[in-house]
Amino acid sequence: MSLSTEQLAEIEEQRGQTAPTRRAVSEGLEERLFTAHPVLDHGFVRVIDYMGDDAAICQAARVSYGKGTKSVQNDEGLIRYLMRHWHSTPFEMCEIKLHVKLPVFVARQWIRHRTANVNEYSARYSILDREFYIPAPEHVAAQSEINNQGRGDALQGEEAARVLDMLKSDSMRCYDNYEAMISQDGQQGLARELARMNLPANVYTQWYWKVDLHNLFHFLRLRADAHAQYEIRVYAETMCNIVADWVPFAYKAFEDYRLGAASLSAQMVNCVQRMLRGEEVSQENSGLSAREWREFETIVRGN
């Protein structure tokens, strides 16, 4: 991460100011407010604002006049019930606003989640910084041989070195030329809205991103998953830690009923029932395809 002294000072100044509010306050999130949590080589996630806490979920579910919470135990039970039975609207009653710095190719995946509000730094209007994502050596991974959209082990030796060298030198050359094109030193200067097209997809951008808790959980379920690309997964994991401090009951329910849960197809349910009755079930007599059987085995054998 590479915040300037001035940016760090702005952040510290904002952290130093408090004012009284009548609204729901999450102690765990207040502690994190504005601080830049580093991700990848130059990226970060910062919490800018939030609305609601665990109690606000219950308050909305109960359409309450007052705080709407009962005992702490009662509230946790309600939150788990709501999560288990897909009652999503009370979770929509919490909202969070983040400032995120991320490579463009990650931003392009991220933006596919449409139910959120976004303000991106404009490269039509402003000049982008010379900051590019260059993977750490252990993340310079080979194409997966079994999964078209995945990666295998890290590349080694000369091949890895060659890749890193290409990424670095192309980034630098493209940025040099970007600067040369927009320069107004002895020439007119190309329009910024055009010059930006010369920058590769590992250049960093940044945005304000605001989302409700239900849709954030949906994002995290897909992006904190082992099948998500590493470079977006690390953002999702950072956000998981933030959410755990913000709404601890809701986050625990999310872990149990979504992140760590498994969905069994009708045929898989039938297999479990037969196996528990003592039947021998194999792929051949399971009604599952070979691929589904592998997925099933992973779930019920736990490895």
Annotated binding-site residue numbers for FAD: 89, 112-114, 120, 212-214, 218
179 part of the interface to a second copy, by CB under 8 A = no
CB atoms within 10 A of CB 15: 14
With beta carbons less than 8 A apart as the criterion, state whether 182 and 189 touch.
yes
| Residue from 32, 162, 223, 301 carrying the catalytic annotation | 223
Q: Is 208 helix (H, G, I), strand (E, B) or coil?
A: strand
Question: 223 catalytic, yes or no?
Answer: yes
Q: How far is the CB of 241 from a second copy (least distance, A)?
A: 18
244 near a second copy, rule: CB under 8 A: no
Q: Which of 252, 283, 273, 296 is nearest to 76 (CA)?
A: 252
Work out whether 173 is an interface residue with a second copy (CB under 8 A).
Answer: yes
Rg of the chain in Å (alpha carbons): 24
Pick between residue 37 and residue 210 the one whose CB is nearest to a second copy.
210
For Cα atoms 48, 46, 14, give the angle at the middle one, nearest 5 degrees.
55
56 binds a second copy (CB under 8 A): yes
Number of residues that bind a second copy (CB under 8 A): 131
- Residue among 234, 207, 250, 259 at smallest CA distance from 26: 250
Nearest 10 degrees: Cα torsion 176, 178, 179, 183? 140
Binding residues for dUMP: 109-112, 120-124, 196, 223
C-beta separation of 264 from 227 below 8 A: no
Q: Which two tokens stand for residue 293?
A: 């059987």
In the region spanning residues 94 to 113, those forming contacts with a second copy, defined by CB under 8 A, are 95, 97, 99, 103-105, 108, 111-112
The Cα 302–Cα 173 span in angstroms is 48
Does residue 141 bind a second copy (CB under 8 A)?
yes
Spell out, one character per residue from 64 to 93, where the chain touches a second copy: x when CB under 8 A holds, - when not.
xxxx----------------x-x--xx-xx
| Residue closer to a second copy (CB basis): 237 or 295 | 295
Give, for 49, the enclosing helix (H) or strand (E): strand 43-51
Q: Which of residues 16-35 bind a second copy (CB under 8 A)?
A: 17-25, 30, 33-34
Q: Are 63 and 280 a contacting pair, CB within 8 Å? A: no
C-alpha to C-alpha distance for 32 and 19, rounded to whole angstroms:
16
Indicate whether 263 belongs to the interface with a second copy (CB under 8 A): yes
3 makes contact with a second copy (CB under 8 A): yes
Could you say whether residue 278 binds a second copy (CB under 8 A)?
A: no
Q: Does 241 bind a second copy (CB under 8 A)?
A: no
User: In the window 199-218, what residues touch a second copy (CB under 8 A)?
Assistant: 199-202, 206-208, 210, 212
Specify the residue, 203 or 239, whose C-beta has the smaller distance to a second copy.
203
Catalytic amino acids?
Answer: 223
